[in-house]
Structure 1
């Protein structure tokens, strides 16, 4: 077993250990949850996702706790220094230099030690965040690498991008900052308040006099925060989905002059989100302004210094104690606000975790327990049926493609041609029946080996933003330069690649853009290099101009030689010489045979008439 295979299996095992991508007994779509259930599910997903870094986060919290307790020491030293100076001033006696400098060093030392421990804790949680994101993206890519190709629609692809990039980054604050900052924000004020009450219980009460009003107002504003955050997340997802849909079809929309109508759904979703957000935040902002007034520095100083002066005049405390407890009181509001912000980050991260969990629950093509190897390259469909949800695409298909022959699939749009063809490449598995290669069910062929037997050239060639060379060798990364150039020549694209300033090192979409015909021939070169014995061609010349079509057809003639070919085309002139023609209508085979043998079939006659060949 290779190291890459072992690593992949290790990642999969870890995913199952943490329930990250295992198939749960019941999958619930977050879009179907109410906001309260979504908030709860998000917290549960978050706890599951952060399992691998729980130890690092725990250590970070312990270090933050120690740092927060150490925050008392500078105040103790400050009070002692003030008491030494105040006593000397009151009595007229000498200053105790040893005690004074001892407390100065205690203040500086404890302050620096606290900072060092706090920075260490933050560094640990930041390293945990880097580890978490790398681990999480590895899990997601491993899962998506085993997903059926049919799953990658425009909407799902947008959701994947959001999960891998945006949602993984959304959890950053929760992992890198919240454990340390929230622990410190809770422990430090409690420790300092205990010390304030130790100094004098009356000053302790004064220090927190403003806080209850602020907390009550803040708690009132934050009511139902989890549910509101979940609702906001849902509405943002709707805006994102409608935007992806609008942008995906923008070229068609602009061509037919329906921009206003086409973006109406996106505009409606954005307006609804704006209205919701304004209705939610406007009263909160007003309440927040009132609440903040009670814990503003002038208000805190007024209460603490005013009440402290009264207590000093009454002889209960001295000015040094009032100063110390006032400084403590000024830290309390910031601590409360830090807790509030960390809670918000936790709720936002819950929504992100739920979307990541969805990605990790993506359905996958299960590998066979005992992989089998085809003995020949005949392809057969045995009573195959397939549906997209409630829409039936194929019904009871029985079809055999002999090795080395060309089979043409024709039929009206929506008849199931592409679905039938892509089942051979296992874009999805049939709901009923089986597809076999050389008598072996493709579900019993290792998915990593299937594409050694099956290559495809689709209507959309799907080139990535990389060099032309990398695009060609994608299916066979260890091919030599001579083999790549030979495949490009056979695809009638070598001369055009060589004409680019960087030749095969030209980055598509960055150094140069390629035309539809050039992209299609690069995809053909890729298929030629793979040299798979079974080939699927889906409308390979449909979106090209006549000149490009001629060159592509020449390339295809080289590609199909001595292979088992399944070709889809609307232009019947290109497939009348096929070994067999299969006519599909509404997911069923309505005619089958060579061109001459099915000329009397009414469905085939209709298609011939539509193509001007009747």
Structure 2
């Protein structure tokens, strides 16, 4: 099937036709607000608690100044400090720390519970959307987007929900309350504490220009790299088999190189600015300015040494707060892009639910069907009848529409025009669970899950007993392999069992045998197997197709031996249809029979 890359059509296009990063950034922020709407109250409560937690940071310093003054006055007077006063201040100090971190614990508890709720809501919505999405939507490119949304994007948003509301609020309120206190102690000490902030602010303002747009553009590059990587890795076996590695991985290479060039051009100049900005608010420089200036003021008798030391320690809070705010701002940028991908995934239009009708037989009628992938027309007004109990082969060159037509019968997607009927009933009027009890399919690339062999075979027939599973395995010529495994049917694929391509194909055939659906869609299952495995698979297929209505996608002359009719497609149109003798002289059938053109 032909796959195309999909981009959001709602974004304003950039100069090169790609989405405008500024609009993408704005959409990301809207998507984040939309996703977090159910937990907005919890986040607001957490932010308020974070502000209180940060504001209380000043209390220990106030108490320490008073304690220092008590100790210093006693030392000057040459007397022992009053025990009651000292113990009272220490108790207040301990209580302040306890209250502050108690609030911090409650705030983080609120955000983490909100994060758990958020994850449950979003993942439930994802499962619901993916369960109802057309099977044809799950192309290699979309598989990369799904993997990133489920695995990476939810994790990126987790950091913003579980930690950012508290830490960012505290990173603002704590230094503000502390700096206000330094001005209360002495306005000159307060100015010394923030002496380097204007320099840092100017450098940071220059560095943050277009940050949202650049982050959105970076995320677009990473999404493209992820999608092309999945596409390349998924087809690596075929790529190597046909010696086209260099050409086939070009899309991934180009995507990676584009990202590298963009990232270097963006971040290169920022490295110098970042170094200068960090130097401006480095603890050593802040401490030097605060202590040197404070010592001069203390020598002049304007302030006390305790006040100088306290204000110098407070000034050291500034770099940590700036680092937290910078990290949080970056996290929100990433979270916005992640939220946009999740919202895009959640907006995938579902395949309309089927009705309540049941097929009245196993015939297949395809009536004036047209179907397109975006602007690419895959099928153009195709009509075909497959009588019940017959075998019809779909043949044609690559891209002719064979696979698309076959998958419409299995309702991987719905046609844009026309209808597909099974047993006289439009497949759109059949409930999915009823349809897939009536239609089964075996594809070239068998998909086995990392579960037991038993569960893989019984995937479409839950509740089947071991006797039925063994019977299906025997008919599929895979029972001897299963018995050779240490765990037999309990062997888990990927851990206890590592079936070859031919063995995996026969397990998939056993699965279809157990379902025993009257209609079978078969993509030539022996196209990429060795001769020994091909013989076993052909015997298994003979048992599978017996008495069924079969639609087989044929790539080689051997696949059409014994079929009842052959449908020839090219360019999405049905060119001819008839018995093998009736179409034997068709130009495509002649080319297909020629040894030099055998294959796909």
Say yes or no: TM over 0.5: yes
Supply the distance in 2 between the matched residues of 1:252 and 1:581 (Cα, whole angstroms).
Answer: 27
User: Aligned residue for 2:294?
Assistant: 308
Aligned pairs for 1:452-471 (under 5 A) are 452-471=437-456
1:57 to 1:448, Cα distance in 2 relative to 1, 3 A: farther
TM-superposed CA distance for 1:547, in Å, is 2.9
Secondary structure of 2:163's counterpart equals: helix
Unaligned stretches of 5+ residues in structure 1? 1-24
Question: Are 1:572 and 1:611, in contact at CA under 8 Å, matched by a contact in 2?
Answer: no
Supply the distance in 1 between the matched residues of 2:395 and 2:590 (Cα, whole angstroms).
Answer: 12
Q: Bigger shift: 558-567 or 85-94?
A: 85-94
1:258 to 1:461, Cα distance in 2 relative to 1, 3 A: closer
Unaligned stretches of 5+ residues in structure 2? 1-7
Q: Does 1:62 align with 2:48?
A: yes
Q: Does 1:337 align with 2:337?
A: no
TM-superposed CA distance for 1:64, in Å, is 1.4
User: Aligned residue for 2:198?
Assistant: 212
Among 191, 197, 207, the alignment partner of 1:221 is 207
User: Aligned residue for 1:384?
Assistant: 369
1:573 to 1:305, Cα distance in 2 relative to 1, 3 A: closer
Among 418, 427, 433, the alignment partner of 1:442 is 427
Q: Render the CA deviation track for 1:107-138: whole Å, top value 9, x for unaligned.
A: 11111221222133223323332332333222
User: Aligned residue for 2:519?
Assistant: 534
Aligned pairs for 1:186-197 (under 5 A) are 186-197=172-183
TM-superposed CA distance for 1:426, in Å, is 0.6
Aligned pairs for 1:411-430 (under 5 A) are 411-430=396-415
Secondary structure of 1:465's counterpart equals: coil
Supply the distance in 2 between the matched residues of 1:534 and 1:100 (Cα, whole angstroms).
Answer: 88
Supply the distance in 1 between the matched residues of 2:144 and 2:497 (Cα, whole angstroms).
Answer: 25
User: Aligned residue for 1:591?
Assistant: 576
1:313 to 1:570, Cα distance in 2 relative to 1, 3 A: closer
Supply the distance in 1 between the matched residues of 2:395 and 2:292 (Cα, whole angstroms).
Answer: 90
Instruction: Count matched residues.
Output: 588
TM-superposed CA distance for 1:434, in Å, is 0.7
TM-superposed CA distance for 1:423, in Å, is 0.5
Q: Bigger shift: 423-432 or 216-225?
A: 216-225
Q: Does 1:242 align with 2:228?
A: yes
Question: Could you state the TM-score of these two structures normalised by the residue count of structure 1?
Answer: 0.90
User: Aligned residue for 2:3?
Assistant: none
Question: Could you state the TM-score of these two structures normalised by the residue count of structure 2?
Answer: 0.92
Q: Render the CA deviation track for 1:273-307: whole Å, top value 9, x for unaligned.
A: 33332332233222222222232222222221222
Question: Are 2:556 and 2:592, in contact at CA under 8 Å, matched by a contact in 1?
Answer: no
User: Aligned residue for 2:133?
Assistant: 147
Among 459, 472, 488, the alignment partner of 1:487 is 472
Secondary structure of 1:433's counterpart equals: strand
Q: Does 1:560 align with 2:545?
A: yes
Q: Render the CA deviation track for 1:237-291: whole Å, top value 9, x for unaligned.
A: 2333333343334344445555455544434433333333233223322222222
1:588 to 1:259, Cα distance in 2 relative to 1, 3 A: closer
Aligned pairs for 1:272-291 (under 5 A) are 272-291=258-277
Question: Are 1:382 and 1:435, in contact at CA under 8 Å, matched by a contact in 2?
Answer: yes
Supply the distance in 2 between the matched residues of 1:224 and 1:611 (Cα, whole angstroms).
Answer: 58
What is the Cα-based RMSD across aligned positions, in Å? 2.5
Q: Bigger shift: 580-589 or 377-386?
A: 580-589
Supply the distance in 2 between the matched residues of 1:74 and 1:92 (Cα, whole angstroms).
Answer: 26
Moved over 6 A (4+): 610-613
Supply the distance in 2 between the matched residues of 1:575 and 1:611 (Cα, whole angstroms).
Answer: 18
